[in-house]
A = this chain, B = another copy of it.
Amino acid sequence: MVQSELVDLEKKLRDAQLRPTKQRLALAQLLFSDGNRHITAERLHSDAMEANVAISLATIYNNLHQFTAAGLLREVVVDSSSSYFDTNIAPRHLFFHEQSGTLKDIAKDDLKVDNIPPLPEGTEISSVDVIVRVSSTRR
């Protein structure tokens, strides 16, 4: 890991009003240093253990939620068994591979959603989420 990278991550945290603690910085590094990630709490915890970062699962959950509240992450609901967090906070859609539980972004402009019918009375759109569920071709 490069020094300037750590400085950038520290700024990212400070800008979000989050103190750059040892654990937080380590998580930020795991999450944001290597392209776009889609990850569960348990998986992130394993990643941290592998990277020899001492951090409890409670702290993983705390930080995933704090990062989400700060707009650094986005929570994705695709699977009833556990929550995913996406480091891509821009509007986008998703492929979800049913066998592996893998997610892949679809750039917003690569897919068109049209003709949304009138919304229920007294509501406004919060987001339009498209999930293209794919399955391994049999044979």
Interface residues on A, range: 35 or more
Binary interface encoding of chain A residues 118-139 relative to chain B, with 1 for a CB under 8 A from any of its CBs, else 0: 0110111111111111111100
Number of copies: 2
Partner of A128, one of B97, B104, B127, B133: B133
Looking at the assembled complex, report how far the CB atom of A139 sits from the nearest CB atom of chain B, in whole angstroms. 10
Partner of A134, one of B75, B95, B126, B131: B126
Q: Are B115 and A110 in contact (CB under 8 A)?
A: yes
A104 to B95, CA, bound (A): 23
Residues of B within 8 A of A134 (CB): 119-120, 123-126
Residues of B within 8 A of A90 (CB): none
Q: A34 an interface residue at 8 Å Cβ cutoff?
A: no
Partner of A130, one of B106, B120, B129: B129
Q: A78 an interface residue at 8 Å Cβ cutoff?
A: yes
Q: Are A111 and B111 in contact (CB under 8 A)?
A: no
The 4 closest A-B pairs by CB, nearest first: A123-B134, A112-B114, A126-B133, A126-B135
